[in-house]
Structure 1
């Protein structure tokens, strides 16, 4: 058993009962092939919560700063995390993300780039649209509906794949593609709140 699976078992055992995690739509994540999961971002626990809610291992971008913490620097890559420099176009992070999707794996993104202070969905960054347009990955919107309070229900909703074949054919920009993804996340938030 690798470290990701061990971490998933531990996180499931602690987080699922603590936050009464209710997973909806996990069957919408294809069982094989590249998948881009795009979620809203309300708490530092979002990556492990999304990770334990999906059947497949997820690779997450994480802010570069946490890779400077001595213990985390060696631990995070074993947990399928890779660094991204915030506030600028990080070519290495983009290349890594594209490779994950082209290798038929799952990439998890929080398009807002930072946690929402209000709980409302913010504007998405162009990176999500970039990955959606540059690969043939299935694009799955995800909504985390809190609050993160012990023994209160927390929902993780995976929506149906967005039909990006027709969107790619329209030659939209990365920003426009991200807006389409964000609208899908907003629809899930409104439907399941």
Structure 2
């Protein structure tokens, strides 16, 4: 068992009894090909929750500072995290994400860029559309429906894959593609939010 699989098992075993995950749509997740996995962002635990419930390994960008912490520096690469400098255009991180997508991997992204303070879906940054177009990948929208409260059910919904080829064919803008992605996430939230 590699570090990613081991960590996934450990984190799932720790979190599932607390948050009682209800996972929807994982059976429709594409089994191969580059996938940009785009989710709403409501809590600090979102990356591991999306990652442990996804059927394929997910690569996430993590802030560079985390890679300077001795124990994390050796663990993070093993769980498919790679560093990104915040507050600036980090060309190395951009290139890394695009290469992963072109190589048929899954890259996880939160298009809002930061956690929602009120739980409502915010505006997505154009980076999501940029990666989807330039990475020659398709997109899987994901909705995390909380709240994160102990022993309350937490839903993780993976939507139908969005085929990006028509957008590439007509040279759609990154902004337009991001809006499409956010609309799909909103539809999942509206459809599955039963509160």
Identify whether the pair has TM-score above 0.5, normalized to the shorter chain. Answer: yes
- Equivalents in 2 of 1:81, 1:64: separation in Å? 10
Q: Match for residue 54 of structure 1?
A: 54
Residues 1:37 and 2:75 are matched in the alignment: no
- Equivalents in 2 of 1:159, 1:85: separation in Å? 30
Count of residues in Structure 1 that have an aligned counterpart in Structure 2: 193
- Alpha-carbon offset, residue 114 of structure 1: 1.2
The gaps in structure 1 that reach 5 residues or longer are none
> Larger deviation: 149-158 or 63-72?
63-72
Equivalent positions of 1:58-137 (< 5 A) are 58-137=58-137
Q: Match for residue 3 of structure 2?
A: 3
- Equivalents in 1 of 2:192, 2:140: separation in Å? 16
The gaps in structure 2 that reach 5 residues or longer are none
Q: Match for residue 169 of structure 2?
A: 169
Equivalent positions of 1:172-187 (< 5 A) are 172-187=172-187
> Larger deviation: 14-23 or 163-172?
163-172
- Equivalents in 2 of 1:136, 1:54: separation in Å? 21
Secondary structure, aligned partner of 1:4? helix
- Alpha-carbon offset, residue 87 of structure 1: 2.5
Contact 2:143 2:158 in 1 (8 A): yes
Q: Match for residue 18 of structure 1?
A: 18
> Larger deviation: 65-74 or 176-185?
65-74
TM-score with structure 2 length normalisation? 0.95
Residues 1:154 and 2:149 are matched in the alignment: no
> Larger deviation: 56-65 or 144-153?
56-65
- Equivalents in 2 of 1:149, 1:180: separation in Å? 30
For the aligned residue pairs, the C-alpha RMSD in angstroms reads 1.1
Contact 1:28 1:140 in 2 (8 A): no
- Equivalents in 2 of 1:112, 1:63: separation in Å? 16
TM-score with structure 1 length normalisation? 0.96
Q: Which runs of 4+ in 1 moved over 4 A?
A: none
- Equivalents in 1 of 2:100, 2:154: separation in Å? 29
- Alpha-carbon offset, residue 108 of structure 1: 0.6
- Alpha-carbon offset, residue 188 of structure 1: 0.7
